Homo-oligomer: A and B are copies of this chain.
Amino acid sequence: MARENEQGEFALIQKMASFFPKAAPGLITGIGDDSAVFRDPEGKDLLATCDVLVEGVHFLPEARKDPAALGARLVSVAFSDLAAMGGLPWLVFISLGAPADLSASFYDGLAEGIGRKCVRYRAAVAGGNMSRSPGALFIDLFVLGKVEKGRAMLRSGARPGDVVAVTGTLGASAAGLYLLQHPEAAGQVPEPLRREAISAHTNPEAQLCVGRTLSAMGFATSALDVSDGLCQDLGHICVASRTGAAVSVEKIPVSEAARAVAEAAGRRPEDFALSGGEDYQVLFTMAEKDASQVAWRVREDCGVAVSVIGRITEPGLGRVLEYPGGITRPFPEIGGHDHFRGN
């Protein structure tokens, strides 16, 4: 069903896009990537992206109790789209749809959480819109960023023979979500790992340093952030680049927290990493010869590990997971995520 949805949504977006004028002076990349790319004042390219949190879809009503966390999380999620393209955040716009029963402290907390993250990443809140919402609360963020001219890392440049790499570790966010949904399992997970998993889910960070470093080096042939899950996101690169991909499951840097939660849940360690999503690491491709230099630099500059987990293949070879012993399986069809993207 998730597969069907993904297809349906893709077709829907394609269909909608067919009605739109999509070219404008200065617009370099519009619909179809993490951010739109266009030209900025000082000769930089501008990036634009939007992300929304809808109550009951992206967060539970209980999360209203900690609006600062909601706000901070949304900013990280939006900035992660900029990070994956090599950009830095610049201006933030907030569109809020608010049910009548929201308390004043909710607004304060939300603004505080958003403001804090913006200060940290040197972005400014430059405007927005507020509306009542008769149903669910929604918080819609629109973010503009900048990147050096022509340096934005798109999804579309991967070539057969490139290696597939990912930063940091994967799976902790999905493991954290699992713990929130299955409190009974939490007792079986050591305290620090439990906290790590939940924090990965509720308080993710955008990999801005990594994105800047990759963009400056200029070796990444494609990049995006791991928001929907490794398989789905690598699938986006394959579609945009018209390639296949093969991922070696044993090379995936599954987080220790995800391993512990998987054990408690009776699941395979890689499950949370493959389709969990919301890790907000950078997934990218590059020529094999550049891999060690890139990994060294990202570790030096950002303190983040880079793991080579597979390779880009000819499109006819599809997208496969390779298990030890020569077993291969197609990417799983179950996506990890209940929202879908327009760009």
A327 within 8 A of B: no
Q: How many protomers of this protein does the assembly include?
A: 2
Interface hit among A87-95, A180-188, A230-238, A243-251: A87-95
- Segment of A41-49, A165-173, A291-299 in the binding face: A41-49
| A20 with B131, Cβ < 8 A, contacts A15-B108, A142-B50 known | no
What is the predominant secondary structure among interface residues of chain A facing chain B? mixed
Q: Say yes or no: A129 contacts B51, CB within 8 Å.
A: yes
B342 touches A48 (CB 8 A): no
Report A127 CB to chain B, min CB distance, Å. 4
Minimal beta-carbon separation of A28 from chain B (angstroms)? 10
- Residues in chain B near residue A119, CB distance under 8 A: 21
List 23 contacting pairs A-B, 8 Å CB cutoff, sorted by A.
A16-B108, A17-B125, A21-B118, A21-B119, A21-B124, A22-B126, A23-B124, A26-B40, A27-B91, A30-B126, A48-B91, A50-B129, A52-B131, A54-B131, A57-B133, A94-B342, A127-B342, A129-B341, A129-B342, A130-B341, A133-B136, A134-B136, A142-B142
Cα distance A58–B95 when bound, in Å? 15
With A93-B48, A125-B30, A341-B129 in contact, is A21–B115 under 8 Å at CB? yes
A65 CB–B CB distance under 8 Å: no
In the bound complex, residues from chain B placing their C-beta under 8 Å from that of A219 are none
Closest B residue by C-beta to A9: B130
Residues of B within 8 A of A57 (CB): 131-134
Q: What B residues does A142 contact at CB under 8 A?
A: 48, 50, 93, 95, 142
Q: Is A31 engaged at the interface, CB distance under 8 Å to the other chain?
A: yes
- Beyond A20-B125, A35-B127, A54-B97, 18 additional pairs, beta carbon < 8 A: A12-B104, A19-B111, A19-B116, A24-B123, A30-B125, A30-B126, A30-B127, A31-B125, A38-B126, A48-B127, A54-B131, A55-B134, A57-B131, A57-B133, A96-B342, A126-B343, A133-B136, A138-B138
